[in-house]
Structure 1
Amino acid sequence: MQRIFSGIQPSGVPQLGNYLGAIRNWVNLQADHECVFCLVDMHAITVWQEPAKLREHTLTQAAILLASGIDAQRHILFNQSAVSAHARLAWIFNCVARLGWLNRMTQFKDKAGKDRENHSAGLYVYPNLMAADILAYKATRVPVGEDQKQHLELTNDIAQKFNHDYGVEFFPQVEALIPPEAARVMSLRDGTKKMSKSDPSAQSRIELTDDADTIALKIRRAKTDTGVLPEDPSGLADRPEARNLVSIYAALSGKTVQQVLDLHQGQGFGPFKAALTEVVVNEIAPIALKTSQLLQDETHLVQMLHNGAQRAQAIAEPIVAEAEKLVGFVKPL
């Protein structure tokens, strides 16, 4: 059984795009993989996080993952900072990776923009820590979106260079698992922008802690146009908000966009939004309710993460200790 590593930043409350793009896929991958799931709090602090909020979001994220169907007994769920192997291997990889490689990373350019000089060094070397996250477990598969594919290619470059430099075949090559039909969920307020948990407007997203009434209100307020739903997908080409709502319906109902249009063609957005609300509530409201229940027992969540960290450490420690030995570090007797 192949080992998967995947992480999610606890930098806000996960939203529908996170669920359809990552979390739901994680749940499905549990059936035929050994899964290591990580709340990557060290990645989160590459940009400023309020300490109390970071802690709150880490626990909320853990509760949401459990409520969504992550099995922390059969698989591993933990927070990154609790396993020192990540930081130790990341430093080695900082010394293996080349500046030219990091300069080509488009995500840093996108996040830093014109204010590059004022961003943290941590954001710049973020891909090296990501490589350490994966290779500390010798994971061979990583579910990622298209925007992380370049970082996974860098992971393989680092593994290959480490093996070459030290004359070993120690770290494996890693395969990207990119879901072919992953839904690209856009903002409810602007169909040209991705739905994001960092958007200043909570009305732009469905959060996985939203109850049925909140979901209904957000969908009712979602931006649309004055047209009716077309009979085929080509009629959505220049209608980003309409396309977004139809795509969300399709992704959550297990239907194709064409099948959704077959059901609702000719309708205005009033009736369609009511139908969409029902589909979203049926999927998300139970997760929100279960999350709320889990958050009532913070001690249980902290203990669950601690147990996961111990199990993660049991895998990562021998691997990273051997990497340190290959580098030439003197370890305590």
Structure 2
Amino acid sequence: MRSFQFDRAASTEQALKAGQSNQAMYLAGGTTLLDLVKLDVMQPERLVDINRVGLNRLERQDDGSVRIGALVTNTTLAQDNYIVQAYPVLSQALLAGATTQLRNKATTAGNVMQRVRCHYFRDNVSPCNKRKPGSGCSAIEGDHRSVHAVLGTSQHCIAMHPSDMCVAMAAIGATVHVQGPKGERTIDFLDFHLRPGDTPEREHALAPGELITYITLAPPLANSLSGYLKLRDRASYQFALASSAIIVQLQGDRITDARIALGGVGTKPWRAHEAEQSLRGQPANDETFRRAAQLALQGATPYRHNAYKIPLAQQAIVRNLQTLTGGVA
């Protein structure tokens, strides 16, 4: 392992000051960062421990929204009574990810910032545009069956975003609050993660030295039902091959509003706006669900070994909608 400087910040201000040096990185739970440092994929010159800066509060706001501190653990968030009641899709997504031990350490901001699981990115040997821009993407012609995307890809990168939590937040609607050298600002959650395009090394909208301080969830959709469905090779500790986070509002047998986000198939948490629009005002039946599922994947680009993800993601949408609406035929 390479040597690096270690700082322990006692406040957000101290953390931001220490984080301004070149190649400085913030350390919270470390469930992704420490793995990648050990693999020599990430090479910080300075680690800034932020666990003592106090960003660990989970607060319900007057309008029903929730303010989640950056350091709130995945376990705390998943088990909070209000989250379970008002945002079941988020609690289910968190419990579907990783192991109990990892959820106890992993933080909200760290989950948002986690990096891809592409084996070519992590092996530190294969050509990878994300790790070394301009070197090529080994996954396109290589092994891309499980942790690679069919939505939002480019000729430079096809790695999928691995988070379950982020898929649920994309469906709910959220705002990321950050602080940095130029002060405070907010980033819409759907704009936070970036498609690879021509710059796959840029994965998020944070500027150098900026720190996520908290995330605000939009108020829950009134009288709605929500759920997270994750399809994977095995039930324990496995990343999604395809997943759906769905929030649906019903009046009788008709859908009045819907929100759909997909995981396992996109280079970022994928919000399916056209599919949502197709559901509004329509009867809650299989024909409606299948039409929405087709729209959600209409822009997909399959590769040799992961074309199956398109019908699998469509099934994740249809099955989730059937479950939430009581199997209306």
> TM-score, normalized by length of structure 1?
0.23
By percentage of residues, which structure has more helix? Answer: 1
By percentage of residues, which structure has more strand? Answer: 2
Q: Which structure exhibits the higher relative contact order, with contacts defined as CA atoms closer than 8 Å and separated by 6 or more residues?
A: 1
Larger Rg: 1
